[in-house]
Amino acid sequence: MSSVLSCLAAIVLGCPILTLLILGFCGLIQRPLPERLVDRLTKFHVAMGLVATLGILGIMIGTNHPMEVLDLGNFVEIGQEHFHFHLEFIFDRLSIPMVLMTFVLVGVIGSFANIYLQGDAGYYRFFVCFSMFLVGLLFAFLAGTIETLFLGWELVGLSSALLIAYFHERRSPVENGLRVWGIYRVADAAFLMAALMMHHWTDQGEFLRMVNDQPWPQGTSHLDPLASLSVGLLLLIAAAGKSGLVPFSGWLPRAMEGPTPSSAVFYGALSIHLGAYLLLRLAPIFADSFVVRGLMFGLGALTAIYAAMTARVQTDIKSALAFSSVCQVGIIVMEIALGFWYLALVHIIGHAFLRSLQLLRAPTLLRDYRTLENAIGGRLANGQPAWIARMANHRQIQWYQFALERGYMDSMIDQALLKPFRKLFKAFERMENDWLRWLESAKGSGSMKKTIRQDWL
Amino acid sequence: MEDHPGPNTCRNTEETKLDTKTSAFSPEQVQHAIEHAIHYLPSQGPIAVFVHHNTLHAFEHLPFELAVIEGWKKYGAEPYLSEDRYRHELLRGRIAREDIEQVLAKDLGQRAEEPIVLGTTRYELRLAMLIHPIRNAPVEELRWFIAETKALREFREDVSPNVESRVLRSVQEWMERNSKVTQQLTQQLTLGSKSEDPTAASSPEQWTAWTLAWLHRVCIKGASLVGEVLNDVLKDAIPVRRHRDIVLGSHGIDCDVCVNEQLIRFLGSATDQGFAQWGLPDRDRPLFELFQELYGVRSIFQPGWLKELSDLIAQDRASDRSSIESIVHSLESLGLREYGLDDFIDSTLLSLPGWTGMIWQLETNAEWTPRPLRAGSLQDYLAIRLLLDRASLRSALGQIAEIEDQPSLLQGSLSMERLAQVLAFHQRRNVRQTVEQRAFVLFQVAQLLGWAPNELESLSATEWQSLMDEISHCGTMERRRLLHLAYERHYRNEALDAIASQPAPVPSAMPAKAPGPISFQLITCIDDREESFRRILEEIDPAIETFGAAGFFSVPMYFRSSSDAHYIPLCPVVIKPKHFVDEIGQLSQQELQRRQAEARRVLGHASHRLHMGSRSLAAGTLTSLLGSLASLPMVARVLAPRLTSRIRELVAKVVKPSQATLLLIERIVPEMSIESAASESAAAESAQRREAKLDQEAKLNQGFTLEEMANMVERLLGDLGLHRFARLVFILGHGSSSLNNPHESAYNCGACGGGRGGPNARAFAMMANDYRVRKILQSRGLEIPESTCFVGGYHNTCTDSVEFFDIDRLAPSCHMDFLQAQSLIDQARERNASERSRRFTSASLGLKPPEALKHVEARAEDLAQARPEYNHASNAVCFVGRRLRTRGLFMDRRSFLTSYDPTRDGPGSEILTRILQAVIPVCAGISLEYYFSTVDNAVYGCGSKLPHNITSLLGVMEGAASDLRTGLSQQMVEIHEPMRILFVIESTPHVVLEILAKNPVLNRLVSNRWVQLATLAPDSNRIELYQDGGFADYQPTSSAIRVVTDSYACYHHQRGHLSFARLGVQ
């Protein structure tokens, strides 16, 4: 039985990887496949993956087997440094639903994009990023070790940023892509630190070992409180960056630069839940740390309220949906903090489907509104809640401005994170210049300085 | 404010300086400048009503060729396709060499034969430059090109072998004659290049290389003798109109980026038509006040420049400035001079053209929207924009001052002159071509024209100068203009040849052979998309007659269907309808309909709540938890769109209004005097009141009187020249439905103001069937036989479905005829779908007609489909005349067909006048909008449809936040050939000129060459072409036209544009 399961698991992972390799390789050697072939290839592999996942699910339910582990051994191992990069995948109650959802959504969006992007100059590029995204997501969802999760996490980040900057002939997609990439790096840095700490404290990155080989969601960690607090905090930062929690919420509406299907599936439905998934996966580890859970709850609540308010004032459909997504993710994080893990899982999956559908049909908005107006027989009320109307006028304007300007979150990040960073590097630049000047006077040769400066520039 | 001493002090200095300045702007001056700028704003209103219009409407008083260049200067948009694109068309045969020759000869006129140098005429020189690409590049690239490629070793590939050998021979002969000089020259040349002594060892390659090296040398020498030459204006020149241009040019800081981001958010809220759940508080107040209120307060995390802004607002408030005073103040503190005012204000308003234009539209032209803006909004907007600009400029200067350690930068005047000086900004506009660049151009021209270096050596400095002048007169814009003329000429000749090859009409004096029976008659819109439909019907049954008229069928009305909430105008936008028509349920069905309406209302409220709730906090949680259910419709709709829509339709039947309705076209209330609607500032009144007023007006103007009906019927039948009636006369309005398409309304009938023309056709048929109307008509001498029935219908051009109205009321004697006709129309639908499908890359080429129909039906229901249909793309011709003059001609859905019978028109040509008054502006608008959106899709068009994002229910942005995009999308125009539309009018030049003389609007379009015009004589095949105020005879260039058996044979297995063909079987 186990060999059948391993076989199926290999298909689940192998098919998308194969697609990525084929598409990527043909693209690299400047021989992109024709559109029809790309379409068939992606559809076939997604369908295979979906069927294989369903097979695994069926067998596991049939044999009452709560968990299946696919261990691919160490990718890198440096014995004396105690370093290993361990590839391990878990199929369990958490990852299988997520993978099923991924395949369904990605499959639907794939065939949507195939028609939508037909004849577009970036068609091939889109599908390369698309398959990279799929591989990344599968790695992230199925990861059994924190380093595997990180690998998937990075692939998702890279393909996301590239997809946001899909229309790279215009300025703002590239700028926004870069901004999202920057925020992802902050999240990555926090994640990496958390991973290192975990390795430091437990000598390993396998989730299962950390929870005494119990299938999710059972098991408790044996981390000491301080460790679980610091790891928990770092992971919270990572999740906040990836899932657009306060104060990083500003990136999600900015991600709506790409073609509609990529905004829909990637940022509206899948990418945005990656942080929540991380928290869900590691929830047993810091289940005992009430500080972490309290902070998580607070962050979730703050995000939900902030985003609900901001979403209300948005006047364009994609930003409105983006902030609504952030709002729901905030609630999901709250649910995780409260320990309603299954509820959170159901919430993630339901929300992903709902948002995808809404984003896919976003361009039909005008028609939908007209249909509704006709059915109702008058103009639509915009559903402004009564408590807003009851506010004093100047308060109302203040809060409205806060919501309209998105709480100046982006500017806050700029001032609190970016500015000191830039100042630091400016200082380095000055130091380097001073050093060069010193070198120059010591050696007396001007050409040296020039070459170094040019390299640096 | 007080805690920022820095900016304050410098502002004080700025103000003291200003006080001394004498020239202040008066509010009138500023208002005048704003009015000037308004003309340049895009005039597209809210996207729900999309009406095609000339993108460069503001320049219509200029000749076309000048206007496109003006547009290029004003908006930075391309005037024509790229030179490479035209050359590609030349290679492909879409432009023939002959076209270029003819166009050039005509353009140069007598100057053609003037010799330039070495016996080459101006004509030859320009022809060479038109046919062959002349490359040029920045100097560095050029040097690389010369050093690394075969540029100096082989002749250009497009130089003919004859020319090549002639040059080589000439050089050889010359060398034999002057061996001494040759040796010197050889030495010099060998130093510079790798060529060796040609006299010693001379393989042909070396020989060529040596000659070319010499030629290049001579060209460099010649170019260095040339003085000032006006350069082809360089594309990357930064026009300096605003402060932002200077800072961008000198330090690469774009002050507009943050200003635009801010403005887009604010304007989105201020103009929102009801999308946001939480609207701008007190949005009925003036924009300027709202803005001051919102941004006058500082908050902690604001970016620095917004803090500057709140200071500026505080100043304005302290001095209690109105928006116009604030503009004047801003202009003064920006150090603006009077002479640059217009230009400055134009370009300030044009820095976000889409939004600015929308403000103007909402202020002046959108009383039908839920929330128009109040008067003066544009002025408020300018005041806001200038405040933001100042804040952003100040913060940018602050940054620069910090980097460059120049604290003085922020002090003193902010005039553009001073800024340019202080920032060491170099304008790159006057970059002159260097000698090397000129030499390279000369070198290429010399090769193409076969000038040998020895001949060129003998040119004097003045000759070089005149040569260079001549070449630079034929710069890239000039070449593109000429190539474009050739591009148009080619198609025009094909079209005119095809029309001329039609059988000449029988002179009316001779009695025609007894006309056979007519199966049925079909009246459609003049739309180019109906061309194939009509042609195919005529092909199926040659006894069918078809007609074309503007798709509102001369029934202008406000219409409200039984399931609609509001009246919509169904007529061209220039007409304001006076009559209101309602669709109501039939008496027996009214109870059912009432219940259905109630059910719709309940469901509507529920789904609206769901829609809103899914975006909110608590309700959103609930909906998301159940969100997995959304996977079902999503998967189904994406994977099987057509099936899903079928199922949805079945379910919707429960609440869908039944077909048993009728139109209230007849006036039942006695006429009353209506108090004249207060016209001034519709914006000031609240939305509900306006709507209530419209409803009241509707009650008073319900329906038409019999007299009015008779007038409309008489008019349309007169326009069509319809006088012999078949038993059945179908009249089809048209429209289009598609999903995920914000531009859906652009696909509808232009003559119905972006609405669907079904109700107009239905109303017309009802009127023409009314025996009382017929009686009135009879008294006027227009006899409609009793046996004739009119049937109104609606053609959906996207799904190719045809729906008929009121067929239950057909006389039983017509039933058989109707069923027969219907089956023919069904056949035509399938074949029409198949002809359309050839254009869609996602439809395989071998699609059979029934499959094609299924395919187009699926397209309309497919959420993923970015091209539900191609709309007017590829339109090129408009024919006004009897159908028999074009019948049997395959026109590839590229021609508008307007019916007009010159033999039945009065002596004053009233009919033709009113037809042309409607048809020329409408078709020109469509053609020109397509033209401009195609030649520069990024500026005149709205870019790719893929990232479009509907905002404020008004229009689309690209991605997360951008300017409102106007014009047509890339997916709409990708198969279009940008050409000015060619009108072919069956009439005499005399009549047409007279009509033009009486109608300045038409005359402006025609005489400024925004459209092309030709006449076809009513009694022969003589064609005359409009040129410079008169008509000239057109001689068909070829008489041979492709003959094919039927349309299918013509388009079968073809994707691209097809040439005209005669359909063999008639």
pLDDT tens digits along A151-161? 999 999 999 99
Per the DSSP assignment, residues forming a β-bridge with A83 are A78
**Across all residues in chain B, what is the average pLDDT?**
85
Enter the DSSP assignment of B1064: S
**Is residue B679 pLDDT above 50, yes or no?**
no
- The answer to whether B730 and B821 are in contact (CB under 8 A) is yes
CA distance B590 to chain A (A): 17
The distance from CA B956 to its chain's CA centroid, rounded to whole angstroms, is 16
Q: Note the pLDDT of residue B187.
A: 64
- CA distances (Å), B398 to each of B107, B254, B410, in order? 54, 14, 7
Report the distance separating Cα A256 and Cα B947, nearest Å. Answer: 8
Q: A255 vs B268: CB contact, 8 Å cut-off?
A: no
Considering only CB atoms, which chain A residues are within 8 Å of B297? 398, 401
Select from B601, B691, B739 the Cβ nearest to the Cβ of A376: B601
> Which tokens hold the place of B91?
């290679």
CA distance B321 to chain A (A): 21
R_g over Cα of chain B: 34
Q: How far does the CA of residue B103 sit from the closest CA of chain A (Å)? A: 35
B890 pLDDT higher than 80? yes
Across the interface, which of B297, B948, B960 has its CB nearest the CB of A176? B960
pLDDT tens for B14-39 read 443 444 444 578 888 899 999 999 99
Could you say which of B266, B608, B620 has the minimum Cβ distance to residue A327? B620
Which pLDDT band, with edges at 50, 70 and 90, does B426 fall under? low
**3-state helix vs strand vs coil in chain A, percent to 5:** 75, 5, 20
How far off is chain A from B699, nearest CA to CA, in Å?
A: 17
pLDDT in tens, B964-1003: 999 999 999 999 999 999 999 999 999 999 999 999 999 9
pLDDT class of A99 with cuts at 50, 70, 90 = very high
Interface test with B, best of A357, A361, A393, A413 (most B CBs within 10 A): A357
Domain boundaries, chain A: 2-360, 366-404, 412-456
Name the residue ranges covered by the structural domains of chain B.
5-38+238-422, 83-233+432-491, 521-586+660-669+685-1051
**Distance linking the first and last C-alpha atoms of chain A:** 60
CB B230 within 8 A of CB B406: no
- Inter-chain residue contact B276 with A315, CB threshold 8 Å: yes
Tell me the C-alpha distance between B1026 and B1034, whole Å: 9
Chain A nearest C-alpha distance from B166 (Å): 43
CA B559 – CA B663 distance, rounded (Å):
9
Distance CA A187, CA A247 (A): 12
Confidence check: pLDDT of B574 > 60: yes
Q: How far is B760 from chain A (nearest CA, A)?
A: 20
Sign of CA dihedral B441, B447, B450, B451: positive
Q: Kindly determine whether residue A170 and residue B293, on different chains, have CB atoms separated by under 8 Å.
A: no
> In a mutagenesis test of the B interface, which of A50, A170, A273, A354 is the best target, namely the one with the most B β-carbons within 10 Å?
A354
**Which range among B538-552, B665-679, B710-724 shows the weakest confidence by mean pLDDT?**
B665-679
Which residue in A has a C-alpha nearest to residue B47's C-alpha?
A366
Pairwise CA distance, residues B474 & B128, whole Å: 11
Predicted model pTM: 0.91
Comparing CA positions, the residue from A29, A48, A10, A52 lying closest to residue A128 is: A29
Shortest distance, CA A306 to any CA of chain B (angstroms): 10
**Could you read off the pLDDT of A173-208 as tens digits, one per residue?**
999 999 999 999 999 999 999 888 888 887 777 777
Task: Find which of B634, B686, B870 to mutate to test the A interface (most A CBs within 10 Å of its CB).
Answer: B634
Q: What pLDDT, on the 0 to 100 scale, is given for residue B505?
A: 81
Q: What does the pLDDT average to over B328-332?
A: 91
Residue A253: closest C-alpha in chain B: B960
Chain A nearest-CA residue for B561: A374
Highest mean pLDDT (candidates A60-64, B358-362, B598-602): B358-362
Nearest CA distance, A77 vs chain B (angstrom) = 42
Contact B294 A397 (CB under 8 A): yes
pLDDT score of B188: 65
Token readout for B1036 is 């068909």
Residue with the larger pLDDT of the pair A83 and A309: A309
Residues A240-263 have a mean pLDDT of: 89
Strands B982-986 and B877-881, sheet pairing: parallel
Report how far residue B352's alpha carbon sits from residue B59's, in angstroms, rounded to the nearest whole number. 20
The pLDDT score that the predictor gives to residue B230 is 58
Residues of B in contact with A305 (CB under 8 A): 617
C-alpha separations of B651 from A357, B604, B803 in Å: 20, 15, 20
Chain A residue nearest residue B260, CA to CA: A172
Residue B289, min C-alpha distance to chain A (Å)? 12
Instruction: Read off the pLDDT of each residue in A121-145 and give the average, rounded to a whole number.
Output: 92
> Cβ–Cβ of A357/B634 closer than 8 Å?
yes
Q: Report the residue of chain A nearest B974, measured CA to CA.
A: A119
Q: Which residue has the higher pLDDT, B887 or B137?
A: B887
Best mutation target, B275, B564, B624, to test chain A (most A CBs within 10 A): B624
The residue type at B821: A
Q: What is the structure's pLDDT at A19?
A: 92
pLDDT, residue B600, reads 84
Residue A250 has pLDDT above 70, yes or no: yes
A121 contacts A167 by C-beta, under 8 angstroms: no
pLDDT at B267 over 70: yes
Confidence at residue B12, expressed as pLDDT on a 0 to 100 scale: 40
Contacts of B631 in chain A (CB under 8 A): 104, 353, 357
Strand B1023-1027 vs strand B1012-1016: parallel, antiparallel, or unpaired?
Answer: antiparallel
Q: Which of A312, A397, A411 sits opposite B276 (nearest CB)?
A: A312
Chain B hits for A260, CB-CB cut-off 8 Å, are 740, 946-948
Whether B638 sits inside 8 A of A119 (CB atoms) is no
Q: Which residue has the tokens 């899909």?
A: A166
DSSP letter, residue B737: -
pLDDT confidence of residue B427: 54
Amino acid, single-letter form, for residue A73:
G
Q: Is the pLDDT of residue A80 over 80?
A: no
SS3 B404: helix
| A369–B624 C-beta distance less than 8 A | no
**Cα distance between residue A138 and residue A240, in whole Å:** 20
- Three-state DSSP state, B120: strand
Q: Which of B278, B621, B950 sits opposite A363 (nearest CB)?
A: B950
Q: For residue A324, report the phi and psi dihedrals to the nearest 5 degrees.
A: -65, -35
**Contact B604/A372, CB-based, under 8 Å?**
yes
Please tell me the predicted confidence (pLDDT) of residue B199: 54
Task: Classify residue B172 as exposed, middle or buried by CB count within 10 Å of its CB (0-12, 13-18, 19+).
Answer: middle
Q: 3-class DSSP state for residue B645? A: helix
Cβ distance B100 to B90 under 8 Å?
yes
Digit-coded pLDDT (tens) for B113-158 = 888 888 889 999 999 999 998 888 878 888 888 888 888 888 888 8
* C-alpha span between B260 and B238 (Å, rounded): 19
DSSP H or E run through B744: none
Distance CA(B149)–CA(B155), nearest Å, equals 12
H or E stretch at B53: none
Q: Which residue of B has its CA nearest to A262?
A: B947
In DSSP notation, B474-490 reads T-HHHHHHHHHHHHHHH
* A111, A361, A384 ranked by CB distance to B278: nearest: A384
Is the model more confident about B423 or about A107?
A: A107
Minimal C-alpha gap between B128 and chain A (Å): 34
**Beta carbons of A316 and B864 less than 8 Å apart:** no
Neighbours of B599 (CB within 10 A): 13
Which chain B residues have a beta carbon less than 8 Å from that of A120?
944, 946
Which of B609, B756, B946 should one mutate to test binding to chain A, selecting the residue with the greatest count of A CBs within 10 A? B946
pLDDT grade for A1, boundaries at 50, 70 and 90 = low
Cβ–Cβ below 8 Å for A384 and B841: no
Smallest CA–CA distance, residue B815 to chain A, in Å, is: 34
Chain A interface test: which of B50, B626, B631 (most A C-beta within 10 Å): B631
Give A88 to chain B, closest Cα distance, Å.
Answer: 29
Find the CB nearest A317 among B301, B842, B949. Answer: B949
- Taking contacts as CB-CB distances below 8 angstroms, the residues of chain A near B747 are none
Beta carbons within 8 Å of B300's beta carbon, 6+ residues apart:
A408
- Chain A to chain B Cβ contacts (< 8 Å): 286
**pLDDT per residue over A316-339, tens digit each?**
999 999 999 999 999 999 999 999
Q: Is the pLDDT of residue B683 over 60?
A: no
Whether A366 and B48 lie within 8 Å, measured CB to CB = yes
Cβ neighbours of A309 in B, within 8 Å: 278
Q: Sorting pLDDT into bands at 50, 70 and 90, what band is B937?
A: very high
Distance (Å, rounded) from C-alpha A73 to C-alpha B428?
A: 62
Q: Are strands B580-585 and B557-560 parallel, antiparallel or unpaired?
A: parallel
A374/B563 touch (CB, cutoff 8 Å), yes or no: yes
Contact A173 B607 (CB under 8 A): no
